[in-house]
Structures are given as structure tokens and as C-alpha cells.
């Protein structure tokens, strides 16, 4: 069992360093912020576990040293074990830091047997967390928009925290799973937060100083209207000379304060945020304006593709929100600057429990792309429900637009909206830590088996965990995404959540709203016809084979059927069940699975620290309550709409 004082340490309890810390370690990391971290981590581990940091030339069990290896890049490293010595080499200090955490992950295995040299390097250059944190508490969205883990790690009382110890600990956790970039404020940039770019850049610099030793670059969300709201210019037109000069000058000052600043994140012309459309300019014009300002310093602009009409008339059946990103952005392929990255949500709608992969991904070969996922569980239980998203992200990352198995990579970067806050367990639900860890590891290697990543997380978080605990955690987490899907909106149709806060069921909550998220259930059937033949044409945004697969209800995968098609309740799925019976069955099963997970967790009480166990147990009570609410509302709704009773005669209200 982990030392109770270590609860906060998430996947880096001190016991995770036992193997490293009990060795003779020789380290030649050189000078620099990340080298300093390598030194101090090793010194601390050795002091704790009886190992020794030995001088050059002495015998050692572990050697970390610089080396020139072709193609390793700044962050890659090699690992090998020969003749009783484990060696990590890298061309830079960041690589050595990643190599050190690799050894920590391996534990005793890093010091056992012989291992031929392995080369490790990240598949994706940018592995980033976006924090939707506000500096000033927002009247509706609070301190952290869609945050379910308490307040902000970075901001409190209207300014950057004076005590950044927890940010330091956060940086360390992130480094240990391979994350290398963090945007520290909300993409919805309100009045106070706009000033971080200019007169409040010192606060950003203080945070950047703390993250730097962990190889993490700091990024900032900025408002496109900055030249107007901060600079007093009459316009923010991206082609206006004065505007360009303003951004160049503002950016110069940013780099004066933070030499390795990562760049800007921009949500423009989206849900009320200002953007280039107001000036009749394109999003390439907008992104390139900021890219030009950042270019001299090696910075990047992450330009979000989440652009759609959020004031749609629900009566208008020709507008389909799912189409929007593709329709807006594909005509601009090839027009974005090399240091502009289009940041695309993994699905076309908004982080639902089930969506197809966005057709924009793969459709812009001449544009740098980052895929955005949501670790914060806005639509997947808000960290009151256990929902491990590893399998969902892995599925999205393995998707290939041309239907091939694994040709090429999907993107240059992976971004997650962070699920961490100032909660003592970091993520509200302690098991949601697994999402943060899994995100980092999948960003490093999108081909990794998520279950193996979960094994790593379990082994680090619970050093020396007995088999019963390992099995129990797998039993609770492995299928939790599928369980959540079962008791919520069926067959890919999405939403059915309470408007505004998005927690709990409300089947028609968004049905007659302007947000473009409908299910169109009536007495005969349910689902959105997005076919090219009779629907919105969304299916045709995909290349073959997907455009054909999705076009017909005969070939469309069951789990996405209602995303792509409006079908009758009697429609027979590939599974052999009718749609209505599938709805009933999955909703009963989902609740049973949640109850079973709660039971498994209760049986682990003797193996988990009491505080952590109690927090999860308490969340399971709420999950089961809420899952029953989902089951009964969804089943009753569809019984009343369809008039078709449950084939198994269970209680539906």
C-alpha cells in the first residue's frame, strides 16, 4: 500500500523510484534546466533508497549520458542493458529526462537480464494539455470551465498563485508521461485573461519557470481581438498593417519574458469569440497573422477548427453542425503558415461518448494538424463517473482516413483539455488520473496498447500492487467507457444531456435549441440522416471507403448508426437486435455494470489508502444513482415514443 502521505503523488509515489534509487548511478546530463531535474531526481531517489550517485569512471548499474545518435531528436533516447549495466543516452537533456522516467516505469525490469539497444522517440512532436482555466472566476463557468477537479492549479484570487509547488509537482507528473506543452488559460478568453498577453505576462513567466525544468513549454490562449481590447486599435483585421505590427511587438515582449514560450492557442469565430470573419478575412489570414508574429522566435499558433453556427434554427434541417469544420477549413488547405497548427476535435461534434473520427483529419494534407481530445469529462460523467478514455482515444488515433491499417500518422500533435485542478487527488475522481496518464503515453506513442498503458499506470500508482488489486483496477476501468456509453445516449446519437452543465440525462434537453445537436426521435424512429443520398451529406465528407461505409445503414457500424441515419425502432442491427431492444438492453446492462464495478471497488478496501478508497466509493454511489436515472429516462422516453414494450418485460416507466 502506498504511504498515505503520498496520495497526492499520483503515478509518482516515492516507492516508484525504489529500483532506480537503490542503484549506483552515473549521470552526465550536463547543465540546463532539465539536466538539473535529472540530477535532483536521481540524488533524491538514491538518498531515499540507499543508492549512490557515483563519479565519472566508477562502476555503475545505471548510466545516463549524452550521445550523438542519428534521428533521436531533442526528446528521444536510447535504452540498453549489457553486462550488468543499464545505459540511457540522448542527444539532449530533454531526452535524458524522458529516458530517466522510462527507467522508473520499468522498475526492477530495467536492471534485469540483457536488453539490446532500443530507440525511443515520440511519434508526435507536440503533446499538449489545454487548461480551460480562468484567472478571474467566471460568473457562469467558474474558475475552470468544464472543470471537475476543484479550482485552477495556476490561478487563485485573481492572479497567478504565489506558491507554485503544486504546479511543480504537476509538471513532474506530466513529464513522467511524456507531455511537453501546457496552455495555461481558457480558450474562451475573457477580459481579465486577455491581459496575460501583455501587462500580466510576468505571471505567465513565473509559471513557465516552474514548468521548464520538466521539459514543458508554456502556451497562452489569446483573444483575436487583442489589438482592439488591449492595444486600443480600431480594428483587429489580420491584413491591417498596424494590427500586424501590434502582434509582432506584443509577441516580441512575450519572448523577452519567456525565451522558450510555446505559442498561442486561438478559438476564433466560435461560440461568440472574435475572429477574422468580422473583417471578411479567412481563418488562414487570421492564423497566419499570429504565425508571422511567432515565427522569428520559433513559436507556434494552435488555431482551433471548432467553428460552427451555435445559433442555428432547429427547424432548419439543411444545416448540420457536424459538417461545419470540414466545410470551413478544407478550402484553406495549403494556405496556413508552417508554424500554424490547425487543432481539430477528434469528432465532428463535441467530445461525445461516441462519435466518428472527424473527416477533417486526413483531408488537409498540406496543413499541420493537431487532434484535440477531452480528458476533462464534460460529456463522460464529469469525473463523478469512472470512465477511462484510453480505448476511445486509441480507437480514434488508429483510425486511418483511407481505411488502411496504419499508413502514415494522423497528425503532428495531440492535445487534451486537462482534467486536473487543485483537488487533492488532482482529478476529482482519483481514477480519472488514469486518463491524464494514458493521454500522455498515447501522445508519445499513438500505437501503444491502452491496456498496457493502464498496466503502467497501475504499477506506478500502486507500487508492488498484489494481483487482486491489479485485477480489480482493470475490472473497474477496462470496460468503463463502454459501460458509460451503454447507459447514456444510444448508438452514437449523442447529447441527451441536461443543457448548460451537461451532467445527467435530459433526452430532449437540446432538441429544440439553437446548438445543432438533435436526435429527431418521433413515434416511428430516431437518428440523424447524414447520408449523401437523402440526408445532410456529411457522410460524403469522408474519403472512400468510409464515405461508402457510413452512407448506408446496411454497412454503417452499429455504434454509429444513429449518428449517420434515421431509422425505425424495428430496424435490425448487425447484432441481430432491433434498435428499440438494443436501447432497452444496453441501458439495463449499463446500470448492472456500474453496480458491479462499485461492488468490485468495495472489495478492494483493504488494498487502497482509506482516503482514496473512500473518495472513489463515494463517487460510485453517485455514478450508480445517475446511471439509473439515465436508464429510466432514456428507456421511458423511447417506450412512450415508440409504444414498443421491452421484449424481456422489465420495468420501464
* Residue ranges in contact with ligand GCU by CB under 6 A: 145-146, 187-188, 267, 271, 306, 350, 378
Question: Least distance from C-beta 149 to ligand GCU, angstroms?
Answer: 15
* Pick 267 or 385: Cβ nearer ligand GCU: 267
* Pick 62 or 324: Cβ nearer ligand GCU: 324
Question: Least distance from C-beta 81 to ligand GCU, angstroms?
Answer: 45
* Pick 244 or 346: Cβ nearer ligand GCU: 346
Question: Least distance from C-beta 179 to ligand GCU, angstroms?
Answer: 19
Q: Decide if 375 contacts 147 (C-beta within 8 A).
A: no
Phi and psi at 555, nearest 5°, equal -105, -15
Question: Least distance from C-beta 267 to ligand GCU, angstroms?
Answer: 5
Q: Decide if 501 contacts 509 (C-beta within 8 A).
A: no
Q: Give the integer Cα–Cα distance in Å for 512 and 480.
A: 31
* Pick 48 or 138: Cβ nearer ligand GCU: 138
**Helix spans in 299-421 (H):** 324-329, 390-398
378 assigned to active site: yes
Q: Decide if 288 contacts 268 (C-beta within 8 A).
A: no
* Pick 305 or 528: Cβ nearer ligand GCU: 305
Annotated catalytic residue, options 3, 199, 249, 271:
271
Check the CA dihedral 87-90-91-97 and report its sign. negative
Q: Give the integer Cα–Cα distance in Å for 423 and 461.
A: 17
Question: Least distance from C-beta 197 to ligand GCU, angstroms?
Answer: 18
313 assigned to active site: no
User: 201-211 and 165-176 are packed helices; what angle lies between their axes, rounded to 10 degrees?
Assistant: 50
Cell reading at 197 = 498577453
User: 467-477 and 450-461 are packed helices; what angle lies between their axes, rounded to 10 degrees?
Assistant: 130
Q: For residue 414, give the nearest of 396, 388, 430 by alpha carbon.
A: 396
Annotated catalytic residue, options 320, 350, 551, 559:
350
271 assigned to active site: yes
Q: Decide if 54 contacts 60 (C-beta within 8 A).
A: yes
Question: Least distance from C-beta 45 to ligand GCU, angstroms?
Answer: 39
* Pick 185 or 251: Cβ nearer ligand GCU: 185
* Pick 321 or 441: Cβ nearer ligand GCU: 321
Question: Least distance from C-beta 239 to ligand GCU, angstroms?
Answer: 26
Q: Give the integer Cα–Cα distance in Å for 97 and 171.
A: 12
Greatest extent of the chain over all pairs of C-alpha atoms, in Å:
81
Annotated catalytic residue, options 75, 133, 269, 378:
378
Helix, strand or coil, per DSSP, at residue 193: helix
DSSP secondary structure string for all residues of 140-151:
TTEEETT--SSS
Q: Decide if 637 contacts 507 (C-beta within 8 A).
A: yes
Q: Give the integer Cα–Cα distance in Å for 556 and 567.
A: 12
Return the DSSP state at 578.
Answer: B
Q: Decide if 286 contacts 266 (C-beta within 8 A).
A: yes
Q: How many CB atoms lie within 10 A of CB 397?
A: 24
* Pick 81 or 321: Cβ nearer ligand GCU: 321
Question: Least distance from C-beta 329 to ligand GCU, angstroms?
Answer: 15
| Terminal Cα-to-Cα distance of the chain (whole angstroms) | 45
Return the DSSP state at 572.
Answer: B
Question: Least distance from C-beta 513 to ligand GCU, angstroms?
Answer: 13
Give the C-alpha distances (Å, rounded to integers) separating 413 from 268, 442, 651: 20, 11, 47
| ∠ Cα 19 94 203 (to 5°) | 110
Element (H, E) at 579: helix 579-602
* Pick 306 or 584: Cβ nearer ligand GCU: 306
Cβ neighbors of 525 (< 8 A, separation 6 or more) are: 566, 567, 568, 569, 571, 579
Name the residues annotated as catalytic.
Answer: 271, 350, 378
Amino acid at each position: 500500500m502506498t504511504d498515505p502521505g503520498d496520495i497526492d503523488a499520483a503515478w509518482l509515489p516515492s516507492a516508484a523510484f525504489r529500483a532506480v534509487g537503490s542503484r549506483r548511478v552515473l549521470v552526465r546530463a550536463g547543465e540546463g534546466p532539465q539536466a538539473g531535474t535529472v540530477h535532483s531526481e536521481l540524488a533524491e531517489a538514491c538518498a531515499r533508497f540507499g543508492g549512490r550517485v557515483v563519479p565519472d569512471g566508477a562502476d555503475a548499474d545505471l548510466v545516463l549520458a549524452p550521445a550523438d545518435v542519428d534521428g533521436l531528436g531533442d526528446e528521444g533516447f536510447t535504452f540498453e542493458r549489457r553486462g550488468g549495466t543499464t545505459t540511457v543516452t540522448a542527444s539532449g537533456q530533454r531526452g535524458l529526462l524522458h529516458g530517466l522516467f522510462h527507467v522508473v516505469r520499468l522498475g526492477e525490469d530495467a536492471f534485469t537480464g540483457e536488453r539490446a539497444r532500443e530507440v525511443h522517440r515520440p511519434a508526435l512532436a507536440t503533446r499538449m494539455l489545454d487548461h480551460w482555466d480562468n484567472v478571474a472566476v467566471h460568473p457562469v463557468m467558474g474558475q475552470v470551465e468544464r472543470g471537475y477537479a476543484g479550482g485552477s492549479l495556476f490561478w487563485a484570487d485573481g492572479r497567478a498563485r504565489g506558491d507554485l509547488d503544486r504546479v511543480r509537482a504537476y509538471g513532474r507528473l506530466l513529464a513522467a508521461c511524456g507531455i511537453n506543452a501546457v496552455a495555461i488559460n481558457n480558450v474562451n478568453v475573457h477580459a481579465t485573461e486577455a491581459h496575460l498577453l501583455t501587462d500580466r505576462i510576468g505571471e505567465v513567466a513565473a509559471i513557465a519557470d516552474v514548468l521548464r525544468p520538466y521539459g514543458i513549454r508554456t502556451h497562452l490562449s489569446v483573444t483575436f481581438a487583442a489589438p482592439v481590447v488591449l492595444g486600443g486599435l480600431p480594428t483587429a483585421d489580420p491584413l491591417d498593417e498596424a494590427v500586424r505590427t501590434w502582434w509582432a511587438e506584443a509577441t516580441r515582449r512575450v519572448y523577452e519574458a519567456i525565451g522558450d514560450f510555446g505559442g498561442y492557442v486561438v478559438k476564433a469565430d466560435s461560440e461568440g469569440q472574435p475572429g477574422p470573419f468580422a473583417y471578411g478575412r479567412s481563418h488562414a489570414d487570421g492564423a497566419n497573422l499570429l504565425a508571422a508574429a511567432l515565427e522569428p522566435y520559433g513559436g507556434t499558433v494552435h488555431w482551433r477548427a471548432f467553428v460552427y453556427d451555435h445559433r442555428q434554427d432547429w427547424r432548419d434541417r439543411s444545416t448540420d453542425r457536424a459538417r461545419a469544420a470540414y466545410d470551413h477549413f478544407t478550402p484553406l488547405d495549403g494556405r496556413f503558415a508552417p508554424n500554424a497548427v490547425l487543432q481539430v476535435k477528434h469528432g465532428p461534434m463535441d467530445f461525445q461518448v461516441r462519435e466518428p473520427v472527424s473527416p477533417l483529419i486526413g483531408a488537409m494534407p498540406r496543413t499541420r494538424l493537431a487532434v484535440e481530445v477531452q480528458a476533462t469529462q464534460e460529456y463522460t460523467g464529469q469525473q463523478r463517473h469512472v470512465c477511462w478514455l484510453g480505448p476511445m482515444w486509441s480507437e480514434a488515433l488508429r483510425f486511418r482516413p483511407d481505411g488502411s491499417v496504419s499508413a502514415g500518422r494522423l497528425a503532428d500533435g495531440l492535445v487534451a483539455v486537462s482534467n486536473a485542478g487543485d483537488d487533492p487527488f488532482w482529478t476529482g475522481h482519483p481514477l480519472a488520473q488514469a486518463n491524464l496518464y494514458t493521454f500522455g503515453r498515447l501522445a508519445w506513442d499513438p500505437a501503444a496498447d491502452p491496456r498496457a498503458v493502464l498496466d503502467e499506470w497501475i504499477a506506478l500508482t500502486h507500487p508492488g500492487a498484489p494481483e487482486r488489486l491489479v485485477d480489480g483496477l482493470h475490472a473497474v476501468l477496462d470496460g468503463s467507457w463502454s459501460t458509460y456509453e451503454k447507459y447514456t445516449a444510444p448508438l452514437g446519437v449523442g447529447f441527451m444531456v441536461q443543457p448548460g452543465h451537461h451532467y445527467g440525462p435530459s433526452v430532449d434537453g437540446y432538441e429544440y435549441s439553437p446548438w445543432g445537436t438533435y436526435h429527431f426521435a418521433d413515434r416511428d424512429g430516431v437518428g440523424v440522416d447524414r447520408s449523401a443520398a437523402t440526408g445532410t451529406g456529411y457522410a460524403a465528407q469522408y474519403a472512400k471507403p468510409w464515405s461508402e461505409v457510413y452512407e448506408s445503414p446496411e454497412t454503417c457500424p452499429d455504434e454509429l448508426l444513429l449518428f449517420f441515419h434515421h431509422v425505425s425502432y424495428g430496424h435490425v442491427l448487425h447484432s441481430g437486435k432491433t434498435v428499440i431492444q438494443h436501447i432497452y438492453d444496453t441501458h439495463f446492462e449499463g446500470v448492472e455494470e456500474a453496480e458491479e464495478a462499485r461492488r468490485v471497488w468495495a472489495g478492494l478496501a483493504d488494498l487502497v489508502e482509506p482516503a482514496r478508497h473512500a473518495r472513489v466509493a463515494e463517487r460510485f454511489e453517485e455514478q450508480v444513482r445517475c446511471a439509473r436515472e439515465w436508464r429510466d429516462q432514456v428507456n421511458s422516453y423511447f417506450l412512450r415514443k415508440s409504444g414498443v414494450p421491452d421484449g424481456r418485460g422489465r420495468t420501464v416507466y
